Amino acid sequence: MSFINTVAPRALPGLMAGAMLLAVPATAFAQDGRIDVVDTGDTAWLLAASALVLIAAIPGIALFNAGRIDARNVLSVLFQPLAIVAAVSLAWIAAGYTVAFGDVTRGWLGSGNAWMLISLGNVREGVNVPESAFAFYQVLVAGLAASLLCGAWAGRARFGWAVAFASLWSIVAYAPVAHWLRGGGWLSASVGTLDFAGGLTMATCAGVSAIVAAMLVGRRRAETAEPGFSASVSLLGAGLAWIGWLGLAGGAALAANDDAASVLINTHAAACAGGLGWLALDRFRRGGKPGAADFASGLLAGLAAILAGALYVSPGAAMVIGLAGTLAARAARALLRRFTAIDDTLDVFALFGASGAAGSIMLGLFLSPGLGGVGYDTGMTMIAQLLAQVIGVGIVAVWSIFVTAILAIMVSMLVPMRVGEDAEAEGLDVASHGDHA
């Protein structure tokens, strides 16, 4: 009796707690992160890759652009990408992520299950990483994509317009394309278009949008189109972007495994081929000295070209694709400057849009096992895959043109698109930000 009187009161709370746990439905444990199993190595790699993506945008692309703009606009070219990445990150947490990577419904837009990231699964379906890590990676990729736009209107667009436009663009233009190609949407599921790490989703979409924005903003005044600030700064930025691009491409594997290693090799090979290819073309065509800014441009063209097929092709094919990216970028830049009045200040369309599209189309060829690729999906042939890639490029381009034009004009009704003539002549560093670089 003494045993019962002594022990029972102490055991009673534990027995009651156990009874309450047994009464709770088993499904209540489904959202308990302690029960879901994630691979810590894969998660660590994805988080590290996400940080590298941020390095690609800032300081990478920001410095690459700053070195090629005139000295009066260096600060503005550095400042805009930082502000845009911050604004796009908030926009994607609020709505962009669920539009791109929410539950697939009819394949056009993701469902609203993850708006404000309020209903993330503990583990992203189909992989072994937390959905929070996946979401963080995608938010930063969206920020990088939007930061590419800055080079198109450098030196003449208003700061407020640029940030507002880029933020809306990331949700209305970029996020649907991301869903179509990388979120289980109709373009990948029905047409068969492939885009592993963003050759279409990021590079082509941003490049085409940039040229539309540049056309709407208008050309620079002749007296303000001065030489670049510093080739050294541009080269440093390209080097940082090179490092960050490895995280962008390798992180898309969503695992620390042989796929990620293959992606890194291919991405690195394409960058090397693109940079050295640009120098070789300058040497053979003009007999000129190797230029640091030209090498930097070739690096980024090669990196943009390999994104779509980084997982699917061999290293040898990656070298060819990187070189093709350089050829496409040089051709696009020459055609724009010679035959159009569009002032894409820092060649965003050429370096990213044209090279990304070229690499995406060439993926259809180098996917062949005979050329070292991983092979075609069931029911697909080389011709069918090439056609699917061409259709993907066309649809992304048309969508980007249409949405960019509407958004740019809409935002300009609230915030003027371009600074005044006096501000442009003085330089945006002083006129818009009250300071020098």
Q: How confident is the model at residue 28 (pLDDT cuts 50, 70, 90)?
A: very low
Q: Environment class of residue 209 by beta-carbon count within 10 Å: exposed (0-12), middle (13-18) or buried (19+)?
A: buried
Q: Is 436 domain-assigned?
A: no
% of the chain exceeding 90 in pLDDT: 76
Does residue 223 sit within a domain?
A: yes
Dump pLDDT digits (tens) for 332-346.
Answer: 999 999 999 999 999
Question: Residue 286's pLDDT is what?
Answer: 65
Q: Is residue 243 part of a domain?
A: yes
The closest of 105, 129, 133 to 117, measured between CA atoms, is 133
pTM for the model stands at: 0.89
Query: Higher pLDDT residue, 287 or 15?
Result: 287
- Domain for residue 141, yes or no? yes
pLDDT score of 10: 41
99: in domain = yes
For residue 5, the tally of other CB atoms under 10 A from its CB is 8
* Band of pLDDT at residue 18, cut at 50, 70 and 90: very low
pLDDT band, very low/low/confident/very high, at 228 (cuts 50, 70, 90):
confident
Mean pLDDT of 369-394: 96
pLDDT tens by residue, 296-322: 999 999 999 999 999 999 999 999 999
pLDDT level of residue 260 (50, 70, 90 thresholds): very high
Q: Average pLDDT of 133-144?
A: 97
pLDDT reported for residue 295? 95
Residue 338 lies in a domain: yes
CA distance 271 to 303: 5
Does a structural domain hold residue 23? no
Average pLDDT over residues 363-380: 96
Q: For residue 329, what are the domain limits?
A: 38-431
| Residue pLDDT, tens place only, 95-121 | 999 999 999 988 899 998 899 998 787
Confidence at residue 222, expressed as pLDDT on a 0 to 100 scale: 62
Query: For 50-109, what is each residue's pLDDT tens digit?
Result: 999 999 999 999 999 999 999 899 999 999 999 999 999 999 999 999 999 999 988 899
Crossing angle for the helix pair 40-55 and 231-251, to the nearest 10 degrees: 160
Q: The tokens of 255 are what?
A: 């695992």
pLDDT at position 433, please? 86
Q: Is residue 334 in a domain?
A: yes
Mean local confidence (pLDDT), 220-235: 77
Q: Is the pLDDT of residue 27 over 60?
A: no
The residue written with tokens 């697939």 in the block is 104
User: SS3 string of the chain?
Assistant: CHHHHHHHHHHHHHHHHHHHHHHCCHHHHHHCCCCCCCCHHHHHHHHHHHHHHHHHHHHHHHHHHHCCCCHHHHHHHHHHHHHHHHHHHHHHHHHHHHHHHCCECCCCCECHHHHHHCCCCCCCCCCCCCHHHHHHHHHHHHHHHHHHHHHHCCCCECHHHHHHHHHHHHHHHHHHHHHHHHCCCHHHHHHCCCCCCCHHHHHHHHHHHHHHHHHHHCCCCHHHCCCCCCHHHHHHHHHHHHHHHHHHHHHCCCCCCHHHHHHHHHHHHHHHHHHHHHHHHHHHHHCCCCCHHHHHHHHHHHHHHHHHHCCCCCHHHHHHHHHHHHHHHHHHHHHHHHHCCCCCCCCHHHHHHHHHHHHHHHHHHHCCHHHCCCCCCCCCCHHHHHHHHHHHHHHHHHHHHHHHHHHHHHHHCCCCCECCHHHHHHCHHHHCCCCCC
Per the structure, the count of domains in the chain is 1
What is the pLDDT of the chain when averaged over all its residues?
Answer: 89
Return the CATH number at 325: 1.10.3430.10
54 with 138: CB under 8 angstroms?
A: no
- Residue 176: the pLDDT is 97
Question: Is 13 a residue whose pLDDT tops 50?
Answer: no
Can you tell me the mean pLDDT for 127-137?
94
Using an 8 Å Cβ cutoff, are 137 and 397 in contact? Answer: no
